[in-house]
Structure 1
Amino acid sequence: MFSVKYLRFVVLFLILALVGLGANGGCGCPGPTPAGLGKITGYVASSVLATTRIPGATVTAVGGGKTYTTVTDDQGNYTLFVQAGTYDVSASKETFNTQTQSGVTVNTDETKTVNFSLTTGSGGTTEISVSYLGFITITHPSQFDIRNIRLDKNLKPDIKSLLDSFPLNIRTDGFDYRSALIITAGFDPSPPLGTQGSRIYVGTSPNGPFILKSLGSGVVTSMPPSSVFNSIDTLSPNTTYYIYPSLYGSWGENIPEEYMEVYTPDELVLINPENEEEVYEGSQVTFEWTDLYAGGGWNYSGEIRTENGEYVLDFNTDITSYTIDIPYESAGTYLWRVIGSRSSNGEPLSLSRPDGEMSYETAEISISYPRKLIVLESEPVD
């Protein structure tokens, strides 16, 4: 049986842990306010648009010799439980300026709302001449790393570069997919001096909130037309997203006047032949896969390679099947897969850079998991 003295020690220990006496003693957990404490809650946004939200921002309350710290959740919200007192509350995030709100008084059992709107650089904006804007959405096996994608000098993908970017040597019975967004933008003349990179804010509603998903950098600063490239790889297939891309630098941050609407394609799943199905030399095989639908206009490109990656053949079609004759003397194990693609200008995987007015184009791509096909020597003739 516990003694009264021991129980008092346990209660005192829990109280000390809860109120966080000393530095870094805050609790960022949402929920009811613990007895004897107050609560500071709110969100962190970018000053470029009120409906943006910044996940992973650090929020700190300092006062009365105590420091409470937490980070915003994936929706840009935070909660701090604090002892009664007066605090200076600040929010910070890399590439943004830190903002502090001083003299925030919190009483016991009271909730104070403190929201932040973080600026960038000098906190201003500037006119930027965008000559083209391209959005590529790619639904792909989760084992692929979108950072490996290869683009040409104009920041465009093509079928060959995609196939080379995503090797076939992954599991052939996979089913987990995710979607990526790649944004390319061209500027003529070049972006303002001091431009540092781009950001991507993503929403699932045209009314927001628009969540900061990428803090990309790497502006291409060649002579006009200059380009910028950014990507995210955490989206869901078969979903419509509303996007605000931004450009930022020492001068501030700039976004379009309206959001851009993009669609992530559905998963492309192979149907026949089954994985590791056996066929004979000299036979005929029909490859089949799911239809991506969503308005039509899809082009399907397939490839067959040996297990060590050597090219065997490829095909293109606008329907969801393709038939080939298996040649003789071709016994062995092969890998095959299919890529579906379409674009707003009717040319799959083409993001053109036209002269004159700004162009807004999209390309949508869906890549299947591979499957194995086992070719046996031709059946003996009786």
Structure 2
Amino acid sequence: MSSWISMDEACRQLGVRPQTIYAYVSRGKLEVMTDPADTRRSLYRAEDVAGLAKRKQAGRKHETLATNTLFGAEPSIPTALSTFVRERLYYRGQDAVTLAGSATLEDVAQLLWDAQQPVDFSCSARVANPGRVAAFKTLATLAATGHSTHGRMTRVLHVECQSLVGQLANAFGAQPGQQPLHLRFAQGWKQPAHVAELLRTAMVLLIDHELTSSAFAARITASTGASLPACLLGGLATLSGPLHGDASGRVKALFDEVERQGEEQVIAHHLSTGLPLPGFGHHLYPDGDPRAAALLAMFEPPEAIARFIEKATRLTGLQPNIDVALAAMVIHYGLPEDAAFAMFATARSIGLLAHSLEQLGVGQVIRPRGRYVGVVPGRVGEI
């Protein structure tokens, strides 16, 4: 019969931090269950922990360590920007959900960029056909003509960062002007003040999420001395994948099915076929994504979607994550079809630029080694 241990005990036995435990769980190396005595806590299979500890003690070859570091078994790049503590997200030591209660995107940008002056995302440029295509075209043009970050003062780079975020927001549909970014988005999407407040909260919660694949891509680009728009373009190209920043698109498609067919039929189909429900569960938040909880507490999703979320959570044991909250917002308030990605990309551009700026202080090109597993050289064609 299996035995189960707490997070603290698992960390102690393995000599790792909680985020490494979450990574082991997400990769199927460690089984987790809810603590029957306290549903807010998780327990971990003792046998799995013992096996991992034994492999660690046996030692790992250099190439295995490099592979694990690259693919998420352990943190690999030092950063002071954001982290997770007891399933809570922190920006430079400040709770992100608490910050989202009142801070603007400009406030958090100043915090993450460590800027000496207030941040201003105002932009007067008008975009004829705002949306994803316009946003990537704008960044591609700026990247093609941008200047290297080398030999430039940090305060000058901060000014360029402000301009990049402002232009990106306008390309996604924000109203040109000098108001805070969330108000310009609300005006561009013809939304009232209370929705503007919801947009502010959502976007602050999306600004950064430690070393994601898009942050890593931006850091790699920055390490080569490329321009800031090139760093941002590299990061946002990575963010655009459906397994990353565009995951809310999959959730919205799921919600469209719910509105057409009803929640019972959609849930039955997914559970009977073993298909995972997009937007439910998050390996960093086994007990629920606090960002999603904060957003969903601010509005009532459409009735059918609310029933679906409740039933899906009850039947799978998985809590809705931030992508569910974003998709529900878009449908409930009639936002533009691609509004979730627009919010995500614009907000995360602040974090991607923060990672790019932080990487510049390292002064070394990120260049992982490949571990060759192909045909042995010199034996091609031999009999």
Normalised-by-shorter TM-score class = under 0.3
Higher helix residue share: 2
Higher RCO structure (Cα 8 Å, ≥6 apart): 2
Higher strand residue share: 1
Q: Indicate the structure (1 or 2) with the bigger Cα radius of gyration.
A: 1
Relative to the length of structure 1, the TM-score reads: 0.23
Relative to the length of structure 2, the TM-score reads: 0.23
